[in-house]
Amino acid sequence: MTAEQPRHIDTARAPRVSVVLPVYNGEAFLTEALNSILAQSFRDFELIAIDDGSSDASGEILARLAKADSRVIVLVQENAGIIASLNRGLALARGEFIARMDADDVAHPERFARQVAFLDTRPDVAVVGCAVTLIDEIGKPIRDVDYPGTPETVAAFLETGSALAHPAVMMRRDTVRAVGGYRAAYRHAEDYDLWLRLAPRYPLANLPDRLLRYRQHAGKLSFNHPIEQALATSIALLASRCRRAGKPDPTEGLTALAPQDLDRFSLVPRERAGILLDLAEAVLASDQAMAKRDTTRQATELVALADASEADGARLVRAMLMLSRGFAGRGEPRLAAHWFWRAITSRRTGLVEVGAIGLGWAKRRAARLGRALRFARG
């Protein structure tokens, strides 16, 4: 059944909240996620679940739920990606508020009630998120994550990265539609781009309440697309700065982004080199992605695009050393040795900096091991 002809929905009265839940092969965690929505103390909602061409049992799980609960609307489509799914859900939503939810997370029973209450008392706020607890594949807590709370602190944080957990937000439907929803070019950072377009017009905020268990696992999109996410994040911020300066957004109308799109902006060589090195480090820091793809070679291309004569020397040494470690991990000792040598000889203090970076890595590794041992002992 599709939302265009929802025979089981009472269209005479719209619910206050529309939950938009994209699903792609989410069978492993989907039932738990759905149950956490249906267990909300706030009951006046519709759940719009978009099955984005799943090949596992996700469709069957959703179909059973739609038969059992009249608030559930299931849309089935050929795989179109998360942004198309989100925009379809936004277009069909009837609620005053849009609650985002992912198929692998778990919502606190009071999440909707507290977010609706906040938005009712703060009609100026367009989006409200909350604190979260990161959990692993089997639901064990990893750590708690807090976000800036007030609109002022959220706006300041947006200058460095996303200030809200996307699957934990509740948004005013009309304001999100007014800025055009999610943009196709910003896949893997579509939320950050949306916050940057909303923030100049409306306040954004977070509740201190921990209302979502945010699952981390190998199938998560951000784990598998580190370069795309890092690039989209960097370009979203650059585009935001253009708009705030009264200039046209150079990415308007794009459907995809590439490193060469940095040249659409008036960047000084040092800033351009810094962004490219940031992208390379983001790729190399993703162990999950490295296990699946040759991300080390992607990072090599990014470092090559950076003007070494303009780059910050210490950052260049760190990127080269990370490349060396990446190639060593992939069983390519000649390339590992090549980049290690380049890191040492790239500047007069290279050897000292390599030693300091290596010591820092060793300390962090020991600290992680210590935390893991303490966790294992209970």
Q: What is the pLDDT of residues 161-205, one digit of tens each?
A: 999 999 999 999 999 999 999 999 999 999 999 999 999 999 999
Q: What is the pLDDT of residue 374?
A: 66
When comparing pLDDT for 357 and 103, which is higher? 103
Please state whether beta strands 170-172 and 127-135 pair in parallel, antiparallel, or not at all (unpaired).
antiparallel
CA 246 – CA 318 distance, rounded (Å): 36
CA–CA distances in Å: residue 25 to residues 69, 114, 186, 238, 264 = 22, 30, 22, 34, 36
Q: What is the pLDDT of residue 360?
A: 75
CA 324 – CA 344 distance, rounded (Å): 11
CA 286 – CA 156 distance, rounded (Å): 27
Please state whether beta strands 45-52 and 17-23 pair in parallel, antiparallel, or not at all (unpaired).
parallel
Q: What is the pLDDT of residue 6?
A: 40
Q: What is the pLDDT of residue 5?
A: 37
| Per-residue confidence band for 369, with pLDDT thresholds at 50, 70 and 90 | confident
CA 134 – CA 289 distance, rounded (Å): 19
Run of H or E residues at 209: strand 204-215
Q: Find the mean pLDDT for residues 231-256.
A: 96
122 pLDDT more than 60: yes
Q: What is the pLDDT of residue 20?
A: 98
Alpha carbon of residue 51 to chain centroid: 20
Q: Which of 72-86, 91-105, 285-299, 322-336 has the lowest mean pLDDT?
A: 285-299
Q: Write the pLDDT tens digit of every residue in 17-34.
A: 999 999 999 999 999 999
- Report which residue type is found at 280: A
What percent of the chain clears pLDDT 90, i.e. is strictly above it? Answer: 66
On average, the pLDDT of the chain sits at: 89
C-alpha dihedral, 284 to 286 to 291 to 297, nearest 10°: -20
Judged by DSSP in three states, 12 sits in coil
Check: CB of residue 324 under 8 Å from CB of residue 339: yes
Q: Write the pLDDT tens digit of every residue in 262-318.
A: 999 999 999 999 999 988 888 787 654 444 456 778 888 888 888 888 888 888 888
Question: What does the radius of gyration of the chain's CA atoms come to, in whole angstroms?
Answer: 22
Q: Find the mean pLDDT for residues 126-131.
A: 98
Q: Find the mean pLDDT for residues 99-116.
A: 98
Tokens coding 126: 């367009």
- Side-chain half-sphere of 21: how many Cα atoms within 13 Å? 33
Domains detected in the chain: 17-217 (3.90.550.10), 267-376 (no CATH)
Check: CB of residue 106 under 8 Å from CB of residue 40: no
- Which of 288, 136, 298 has the alpha carbon at shortest distance from 224? 288
The sign of the CA dihedral 372, 374, 377, 378 is: negative
Which residue in this structure is represented by tokens 């209302």? 211
